[in-house]
């Protein structure tokens, strides 16, 4: 009888932990997108040249804010891993904790790669290469850059790349 109660408590505790993790990390990109939206989308002025100084300044601000947000999230993760580094006697609790940590580390690894892309985008702005497609040399477009500030291809080239990738993989 006591063993059944203990198992039920362990399962209940593990499901609570999973719910917390799922709730906190339900959609990390939406948190990031919401953070980027603290800066209003850029509205080009009439007859304004593409990638003018004002546009570059806007996108640098967006990229730096995004990078800062990612750094804060990484710090929270490391703090969480340090404080929650308990070892549980129950294998179910231990497995649940390991799964939670693995999920957080995968998310942070994706964000680390994104931080590198942000740094590359900032460097491209400084070199006057930002906003131009790497494949065809056309404008990427303000709306696409607002949606994905680290974009390196225009929508047409990106679509072609995705079609080619789909054909090769399947």
Q: What separation in angstroms does the CA of 169 have from each of 15, 160, 162, 164? A: 36, 14, 10, 9
- CATH superfamily of this structure's domain 17-129: DksA, coiled-coil domain (1.20.120.910)
- pLDDT tens-digit map of 47-82: 999 999 999 999 999 999 999 999 999 898 888 777
Phi, psi of 137 (to 5 degrees): 85, 0
pLDDT of amino acid 37: 54
Burial of 164 from C-beta contacts in 10 A (0-12 / 13-18 / 19+) = exposed
Q: pLDDT of 89-146, one tens digit each? A: 788 888 888 888 889 889 889 999 999 999 999 999 999 999 999 999 999 999 999 9
Residue 145 · residue 131 · CB < 8 Å: yes
């Amino acid at each position: 009888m006591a063993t059944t109660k203990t198992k039920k408590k362990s399962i209940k505790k593990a499901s609570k932990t999973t719910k917390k993790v799922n709730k906190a990390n339900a959609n990390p990109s939406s948190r990031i997108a919401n953070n980027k939206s603290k800066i209003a989308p850029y509205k080009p002025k009439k007859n304004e040249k593409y990638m003018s100084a004002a546009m570059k300044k806007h996108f640098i601000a967006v990229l730096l804010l995004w990078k800062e947000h990612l750094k804060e999230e990484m710090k929270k993760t490391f703090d969480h891993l340090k404080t929650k580094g308990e070892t549980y006697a129950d294998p179910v609790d231990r497995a649940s904790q390991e799964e939670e940590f693995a999920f957080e580390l995968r998310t942070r690894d994706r964000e680390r790669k994104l931080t590198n892309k942000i740094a590359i985008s900032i460097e491209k702005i400084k070199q006057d290469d930002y906003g131009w497609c790497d494949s065809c040399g056309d404008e990427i477009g303000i709306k696409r850059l607002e949606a994905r500030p680290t974009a390196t291809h225009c929508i047409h080239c990106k679509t072609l790349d995705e079609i080619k990738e789909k054909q090769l993989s399947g």
